[in-house]
Copies of this chain bind each other. A is one copy, B any other.
Amino acid sequence: MTDLEKAMESLITVFHRYAKEGGNKNTLSKKELKNQISTEAYFLDKANEFFQMLDEDGDGTVSFHEYIIFCATLAMLC
């Protein structure tokens, strides 16, 4: 597997690691996103604000599509 494929796989794995905790297995609830940020991206202190920002369609959950934009933004900040 190439480095790019491994990176992709990690992004997908991390998403599902938290999305599967409760409710819809394919979306991140606010609680699931908070858990992920506190563990995976502890340097981000404003989980609530991030949730609002990511939840583009305002349905109270973060889909993989909305999540991957978060990852892209995070990568640009690095």
Main SS at interface, chain A:
helix
Complex Cα spacing A9 to B10, Å: 11
User: What chain B residues lie within 8 Å of A64 (beta carbons)?
Assistant: 76
Total contacting residues, chain A, CB less than 8 A: 28
What residues on B are CB-neighbors of A6 within 8 Å? 7, 10
Task: Tell whether, in the assembled complex, residue B2 and residue A75 are in contact, meaning their CB atoms are under 8 Å apart.
Answer: no
Task: Output the nearest chain B residue to A63 by Cβ-Cβ distance.
Answer: B76
B74 touches A72 (CB 8 A): no
Q: Which residues of B contact A13 (CB under 8 A)?
A: 3
* Shortest Cβ distance from residue A54 to the other chain B in the assembled complex, whole angstroms: 13
User: Would A14 and B3 count as touching, CB distance under 8 A?
Assistant: yes
